[in-house]
């Protein structure tokens, strides 16, 4: 009986990759806090996961590991006069929430792997 590891792990590997990508985007925003004309970017996690096939509707679960993400521009609450749309508090909050979400996805993935390991070895 063949077993597809990607389907066994569900959407968690794709979620981890997307959260890692979002970390890079938010870090880039923070690095450009004082860059005139810089426009803050972000990705819509739910939409990106669906496009990557992580929800099971469009493709196989492993496809998100090789696909790219589509970035959009964040709409600022209050843009700076120099055209920069990075807001420090918003970016810090997004970074912190993304870190918590990353850790949660990692915990779910570890639980899945331990469950699969138990199923394979038969040890509880």
Q: For the segment 78-107, what is each residue's pLDDT rounded down to a tens digit?
A: 878 999 999 999 999 999 999 999 999 999
Please give the DSSP secondary-structure letter assigned to residue 63: G
Number of structural domains (the chain) is 1
Domain residues for the domain of 13 are: 7-121
Report residues of the chain scoring pLDDT below 50: 56-66
> What's this model's pTM, rounded to 2 decimal places?
0.77
Position 106 in a domain: yes
Position 56 in a domain: yes
- In terms of Cβ atoms closer than 10 Å to its own Cβ (0-12, 13-18, 19+), residue 66 is exposed
Position 1 in a domain: no
């Amino acid at each position: 009986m063949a077993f597809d590891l990607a389907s066994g792990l569900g959407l968690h590997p794709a979620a981890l990759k997307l959260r890692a990508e979002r970390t890079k985007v938010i870090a880039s925003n923070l690095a450009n806090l004082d860059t005139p004309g810089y426009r803050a970017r972000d990705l819509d996690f739910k939409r990106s996961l669906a496009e990557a096939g992580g929800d099971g509707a469009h493709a196989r679960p492993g496809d998100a590991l090789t696909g790219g993400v589509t970035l959009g521009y964040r709409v600022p609450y209050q843009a700076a006069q120099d055209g920069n749309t990075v807001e420090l508090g918003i970016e810090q909050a997004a970074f912190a929430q993304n870190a918590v979400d990353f850790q949660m996805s990692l915990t779910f993935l570890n639980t899945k792997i331990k469950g699969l390991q138990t199923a394979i070895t038969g040890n509880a």
